[in-house]
Amino acid sequence: MRLLEQIQQLRRANRLAQLCRQVVGRSYAPVREASEPGAASMPLAEARGYVRAKATPVLRAEIKSVMKSEAGLGAWAHDVLMEHASRHIVEIVLKDVRHVAAPPAVRRRAA
Taking only the tens place, the pLDDT of each residue in 20-51 is 999 999 999 999 999 888 888 889 999 999 99
Identify the residue with better confidence: 6 or 26: 26
- Could you report the per-residue pLDDT of 46-103, keeping only the tens digit for each? 999 999 999 999 999 999 988 888 777 777 888 889 999 999 999 999 998 877 655 5
Nearest alpha carbon to residue 92 among 3, 18, 24: 24
Torsion sign, CA atoms 29, 34, 40, 45: negative
Give the Cα separation of 7 and 35 in Å (integer). 40
pLDDT of residue 101: 57
Residue 105's pLDDT is 60
Check whether 104 has a pLDDT greater than 70. no
